[in-house]
Structure formats: structure tokens, C-alpha cells
Amino acid sequence: MPSNVSHQPLSNIKVLDFTTLLPGPMAGLLLAEAGASVLKIERPGEGDELRRYEPKWGKDSAAFALLNRGKKSLALDLKDPQQLAIIEPLIRQADVLLEQFRPGVMDRLGLGYSAVRQINPGIIYCSITGYGQNGPLAGIAGHDLNYIGDSGLLSLSTGPSDRPVVPPVLAADLAGGSYPAVVNILLALLARQRTGEGCHLDIAMTENMFMLMTWAMAQGLTSEEWPEDGNELLTGGSPRYQIYVTGDGAHLAAAPLEQRFWDTFCELIELPEEFRNDGVDPQRSIAAVREIIASRNAEDWKKVFYGQDCCCSIVKSVYDALREPHFHMRGLFDHVLENEDGEELPAAPVCISPQFRSAPDKVKSAPALGAHNDAIIKTGS
């Protein structure tokens, strides 16, 4: 369904965004893509740290461009009382304030929830931190790897003990920070329609990781047999959910979990009958499948599994995935960014339904640092 920009669900919502790097900016991007007006508050001269990351695309990093398209930028020194005063009228007009400093930082700047609420009782004040606004760990510094480690999630599959593998996804930042922030902001906006009151949302990335481990919690809490590293159904302990290496070094993602899929998989690869009852000795079955998959190249296996109902596919590189016709047919990369040099870059897709997104033919870019200072300071909005 094509989007109708004038009727985007958040078209009347104003967001003040004090965040940097990934969790808050991604949350702001999702809100902006649904129509919200997002104003980034950045440090003069430096701005969001992500601007300086490599690779660059124009003056700033490509990652910054992907995460901050369609936003505005106001560069202010929040420690300067005169510049801080510019924030007050913006707070009065705002619906949402996003911040991800450690607890207490915004209070010291005079921008904590209590102070902001005095100016605007209806504001939705969303704080994203690693461990929450209170508790013994609240003031501890950390990054995604620490958060998934402290939640137990990292222990479920770290790879070989002598060569542990760093996960490819910043799960805590995104699934523990960005997405819960947006969900709770939307809930708070709905609640405000009934009460007129805003609230303070305390988004703790580490504790939100537990929702990703329901299967592990269910197993351990009921049987006291806690999941072991890489040895469970979904972490490498079963031949039915496994990554196998083909003869030419490619990877086969095999996920024939259900019995009907497993039966089809076994037939297609001609697995000897003695290994098909994988409940007897899973490691023995894994070894047998591994040997078979290694006997043929990826293209051969593509032909074997093509059109078959067994949940198997050759792992794509990012390069190949970005060129997959299926995604382009669905309009996933229709948005295009353009920088100050006239260069174009496909915009990062977002999980906003097409009917709520901005029109795909509109070129959107990330703002230069302080690009909107003159207009905002002059008008106060």
C-alpha cells in the first residue's frame, strides 16, 4: 500500500533527540519515518560521535547518514546557560524527549525529567541506558557486548572456546534499546490521549535481553538443566539447526526443525538411514550431514534445495543480499539519500509498514551539524 505522507500517524509529533551512536538515533529514525519531526541536539564542533566514523560519505560517516536521514540538527553547548535557554521553548512544544546519557547527567544539565516536566507536563521523556535509572549497575559504563554478556545471552553461543565469536548484530542496542523505546513511546502517546499526562520511560537495554531468551529460561527454570554454550536445539546442538560448509567453502543454513522438513532434507541429501533418528546421537548425525554437504559445491546444493520445502538456503554475503530481486520488488531500497556532493546511497530500510512511511520518491538526507541553528534560534521552534 503506498504511503500518504500527509496522513502519516506521527505527522504532528515533535521529538527532541539528545542521543548519539545507535540506540537512540535508530529509535528517532523509526519515529521520523512514521512522520515525526525529529530535532537532534548536538555538541558544537563535534556533534554525534557517529559523524566521525569510517567509512565517510561526504563530510560525515555513511552510518550517520543512514541513521539520521530526515532529521534536523541544532548544535548547542548544554553547559552554557545562554545556549541552554534556547532549549526551553523547544521543550514546551515537544511531545517526546529522547536521551541516552548515564543516569544523573541530564539532571546535572538542568534537563532531567523533573525539570522538564515542570515546563511540559505532557512530555514523553524516554531514557535509554544499559542498566536502567536505578540499581547497583545503573552507573556502570558498557556497550552491547557487555549488555548481552550480563544478561546471559552471550553465554548461549560464543563459538569455539579458544576462538570465541563476536555476534554480528548489536542486539542490545537495537532489540533492547531502539525497539522497546519506540514501542513504549507509542504506548505513552496513547495513554496521554486519555490522561493528558506525560511520563518518564526507563529503557534498560540489558534487562530487555531476557525477552530474547524465553526458550532458555523455560528450559532452565523447569528442569534445572540450564542451556550449555552451543549445545542446544537453536545454538548448534542439533543437526536440524546448523550451518554446514559446502565443498567450495560457502555456508548452508539448514533449519529443518519440524519432522516433515527433516524428512525431506534427509531424502534430498541422501542421508543414510542410521543417522536420520538424530535423537539417538545428535553429534553423530551432525558429523554425517557435515560430510555430505562438504562433498558438493554451493551451486549444486542450490539446485538440490530449489523449490523444496525444507528450510535450507545458501548464506548470502551482504553484497548479494542487497541485490536480491525479492527485496527490490518489495520496495525495500526505494528510498535514496543524496549528500552535499550529489552522491546517492540507498537508505537503510526500517521496520515501518509501507503505508506509514514517507514517499519513496523523496530524497532525504542527514543534516549537517547545526544546519538548523539559525532558523530555530530565530523562530524558537
225-241 pLDDT, tens digit each: 999 999 999 999 999 99
Q: Where are the beta strands (DSSP E) in 199-262?
A: 199-204, 242-245, 251-254
3-state secondary structure of 3: coil
pLDDT score at 14: 98
The rounded mean pLDDT for the chain is: 95
Distance from C-alpha of 15 to C-alpha of 185, rounded to nearest angstrom: 11
Q: Which three cell numbers stand for residue 358?
A: 514517507
Distance from C-alpha of 291 to C-alpha of 238, rounded to nearest angstrom: 15
For range 290-307, the mean pLDDT: 98
Quote the Cα angle for 91-367-357, to 5°. Answer: 80
46 Cβ neighbours under 8 A, 6+ residues apart: 52
CA R_g for the chain: 24
Following DSSP, what letter does each residue of 339-371 receive, concatenated?
Answer: -TTS-EEEPPP-SS-GGGSPPTTS---PPPTTT
Query: What crossing angle do the helices spanning 259-269 and 298-305 adopt, rounded to 10°?
Result: 130
pLDDT score at 5: 53
Question: What percent of the chain stands above pLDDT 90?
Answer: 91
Q: Give whole-number Cα distances, 119 to 93, 99, 135, in Å.
A: 10, 17, 28
Would you call the peptide bond into 354 cis, given omega within 30 degrees of 0 as the criterion? no
φ, ψ of residue 285 in degrees (nearest 5) = -65, -40
161 Cβ neighbours under 8 A, 6+ residues apart: 229
Q: pLDDT digits over 112-147, tens only?
A: 999 999 999 999 999 999 999 999 999 999 999 999
Q: pLDDT digits over 240-285, tens only?
A: 999 999 999 999 999 999 999 999 999 999 999 999 999 999 999 9
pLDDT score at 306: 96
φ, ψ of residue 16 in degrees (nearest 5) = -100, 120
pLDDT at residue 3 tops 60: no
pLDDT at residue 334 tops 60: yes
- For CA atoms 17, 211, 207, 52, the dihedral sign is negative
φ, ψ of residue 56 in degrees (nearest 5) = -85, 150
Quote the Cα angle for 143-144-149, to 5°. Answer: 105
Q: pLDDT digits over 161-179, tens only?
A: 889 999 999 999 999 999 9
25 neighbors 17 (Cβ within 8 angstroms): yes
Distance from C-alpha of 345 to C-alpha of 61, rounded to nearest angstrom: 12
3-state secondary structure of 215: helix
Instruction: Provide the pLDDT confidence category of residue 6 given band limits of 50, 70 and 90.
Output: low
| Structural domains of the chain, with CATH | 5-205+329-379 (3.40.50.10540), 242-321 (3.30.1540.10)
Q: Which three cell numbers stand for residue 180?
A: 522497546
